[in-house]
Amino acid sequence: MRGLARDQIPFANAVALTRSAVDCAAAERERLPKVFKLRNTGGNRGIRSTAAKKSDWPTSRSSVQWREYLARHQAGGVQHPTRSRTWAVPTLLVSRKRGAGGKIPARFKPREAIQEERAIVRTSGEIGGRAITEPWVQQKRKRKAKGTAGNVSLWFHLVHAIKLDPVLQAPEHVEPVFRAKFPAHFRRELAKAVQSRKK
């Protein structure tokens, strides 16, 4: 290989790695709706690519990164909260009230509802004759009349762990995309770099 082309390999390699990572991230975004029920664009924003650096040659690398909640689905298995003691899993009653973009109205969100005393946390008991084994958030009990309890609405289950299927098996899908895209990107970027240096 001629010296000029050899000198441009680190640059062409870094650009080709970066462009290939972008292609892989795009392929994963396209696949998301097939494995998840997407209510908004948050899932797509949770997949990003990182750029490779010419200065790291010959160990330059780029990558596709998933935000924590997507990475959990990639790993699968029993998952535990890392930023709180429990996860709030909405009941069907609350899920049906999702608005634009799949968002749950603020008045139903656990923290706000509890702070504003519209909901309370229970750790034991039953609802509708059914025993609840995990803590839950329910609408604050309303009284029909003095001494008479009204109906109670269950809003969220508070779970300490959840079992996830590894539906987002990203490496199995990313690697073929990378192998298909990188060679063409590298040849094109090397040719462009050599041509630029000749001018």
CB neighbours (10 Å) of residue 31? 15
What stretch of H or E contains 192? Answer: helix 170-198
Q: CA-CA distance, 119 to 114, in Å (whole number)? A: 5
Residues 133 and 174 occupy one common structural domain: no
Residue 112 pLDDT grade (very low, low, confident, very high; cuts 50, 70, 90): confident
In one-letter notation, the amino acid at residue 126 is: E
Compute the mean pLDDT over every residue in the chain, rounded to the nearest whole number: 81
Q: Which residue from 13, 6, 19 is spatially nearest to 60, judged by alpha carbons?
A: 13
Residues 169 and 112 in one domain: no
For the chain, the 3-state helix, strand and coil shares in percent, each to the nearest 5, are 45, 20, 35
Per-residue pLDDT reduced to its tens digit, 26-44:
998 888 888 777 777 777 7
Return the DSSP state at 124: S
Taking only the tens place, the pLDDT of each residue in 42-72 is 777 888 899 999 888 888 888 888 777 777 7
ω into residue 90 within 30 of 0, thus cis?
Answer: no
Contacts of 46 (CB under 8 A, 6+ apart): 66, 67, 69, 70
Residues 110 and 170 in one domain: no
Q: Which residue has the tokens 């702070």?
A: 115
User: So what's the pLDDT on residue 189?
Assistant: 92
Q: 58 with 94, same domain?
A: no
Number of domains in the chain: 2
Q: Are residues 43 and 68 in the same domain?
A: yes
3-state SS track over 43-91: HHHCEEEECCCHHHCCCCCCEEEECHHHHHHHHCEEECCCCCCCEEEEC
Which of 25-34, 102-111, 122-131, 136-145 is predicted most confidently? 25-34
pLDDT exceeds 60 at position 146: no
Confidence (pLDDT) at 80: 86
For residues 152 and 104, membership in a common domain is answered with yes
Q: Which residues pair with 164 in a beta bridge?
A: 77
Residues 6+ apart with CB under 8 A from 130: none
**Domain match, 94 and 140 both:** yes
For residues 91 and 155, state if they share a domain. Answer: yes
Please check whether residues 107 and 93 belong to one and the same domain.
yes
Give the burial string for 142-170 (b: 16+ CB within 10 Å, else e): eeeeeeeeeebbbbbbbbeeeeeeeebeb
**Domain interval for residue 121:** 87-160
At residue 42, φ and ψ (nearest 5 deg) are: -60, -35
pLDDT at 147: 43
